[in-house]
Amino acid sequence: MTRKDLVRLQRWFSHHVAGYHTNEPGYDFVIRLKEQHTKRVCRIIKMLCRKLDLTEQEIILAETMALLHDIGRFKQYEIYGTFNDRSSQNHATIGLHLISEYNLLSAYTIDEKNLITKAIAFHNVGKLPEDEDGKTLFYMRLLRDADKLDILEIMTDYYRSREKQAKAALQIGLPDDSTCSTKVLNALQEHRIAEFEDLETLCDLKLFHISWVYDLNFIPSFQTVQHKGYIDRIEKTLPFDQKIIDSVNDARNHVIELLRVSGKAPISR
Ligand SMILES: [Fe+2]
């Protein structure tokens, strides 16, 4: 595959997404949210690739994964009117069907196709499989980090402004309750990512996003979290509660400590 193949896919993507616009402002706003998310994930993954010293071929591969990782979102919204996988269908699965239906990866080798489809299939699962080879896991982790970094950017802004139009799409139906569920708090106290299935309130969703620091993989990703101040900014929108404060402090210290240790070594893959 070459950069030209990727450019062809980018054109296909724009054309495909244009087909989901309806001229109904509320609906088109939501479609644009996902379109812009994809474009930013492409930029973020490129930034990560460069910081990790990947080759041009490896960067094209990673950008392809980013471009197609949420391709199922548009059809998901068209059919179900929601981005909530729990109440509709796994959007990664919808995306993989589209990739095969439109034969999008015909210019890619079997090895590249496998890497792309596996990275997409696992970009939204709780835990990565343990029986994959190092190269596959590397790309899975890279896509997950890039996706998370952009969602953190969107959600951090949203928690501050709570833009009305974005509400239903971003808050995935969770009530504006300021209490946090025990299971979600436990996950943070145990320094692990919270389970999506356990989210019951908006407060849980905020803690869920903070818990992502326990599932990031690369030093440049931690640098971005630190540089953008995501944890501090989300914390400002959380209720004042000692358990929450302690959990958020732990997450912040996790990032600081990783960066401190990594500061002594070069950024590595
Ligand atoms: Fe996704």
pLDDT at site 167: 67
Q: For the range 234-241, what are the long-range contacts, defined as Cβ-Cβ under 8 Å and sequence gap of 24 or more? A: 234/155, 234/156, 234/159, 234/206, 234/209, 234/210, 235/210, 236/160, 237/159, 237/160, 237/206, 238/203, 238/206, 238/207, 239/178, 239/179, 239/180, 239/203, 241/180
Q: What is the pLDDT of residues 219-261, one digit of tens each?
A: 999 999 999 999 999 999 999 999 999 999 999 999 999 999 8
Report CA(183)–ligand 1 centroid distance (Å). 24
pTM: predicted TM-score of the whole model, two decimal places: 0.93
For the domain made up of 3-145, the CATH class stated in words is mainly alpha
CA of 80 to the centre of ligand 1 (A): 16
Q: What is the pLDDT of residues 173-218, one digit of tens each?
A: 788 878 999 999 999 999 999 998 899 999 999 999 999 999 999 9
* pLDDT confidence of residue 168: 65
Domain boundaries, the chain: 3-145, 174-262
The confidence score (pLDDT) of residue 176 equals 82
CB-based burial label for 194 (10 Å; 0-12, 13-18, 19+) = buried
Query: 124-182 pLDDT, tens per residue?
Result: 998 899 899 999 999 999 999 999 999 999 999 888 887 666 666 677 778 887 899 99
> Residue 178 Cα, ligand 1 centroid: separation in angstroms?
26
CA of 151 to the centre of ligand 1 (A): 10
Task: Tell whether the model's pLDDT for residue 268 goes beyond 60.
Answer: no
From 31, 1, 5, 36, select the one nearest 18 (Cα to Cα): 31
Least confident segment among 61-70, 204-213, 259-268: 259-268
Cα distance between residue 210 and residue 230, in whole Å: 8
Query: Ligand 1: distance of its center to the CA of 209 in Å?
Result: 14
Q: How far is the CA of 225 from the centre of ligand 1 (A)?
A: 19
Instruction: Give the whole-angstrom CA distance, residue 45 versus residue 34.
Output: 16
Q: Compute, in angstroms, the gap from residue 196 CA to the centroid of ligand 1.
A: 13
Nearest residue to 136 via CA among 65, 195, 70, 193: 65
Contacts of residue 68, defined as CB under 8 A and 6 or more positions apart, other chains included, come to 9, 13, 95, 99, 104, 116, 120
Residue 123 Cα to ligand 1 middle (Å)? 6
- What pLDDT, on the 0 to 100 scale, is given for residue 172? 73
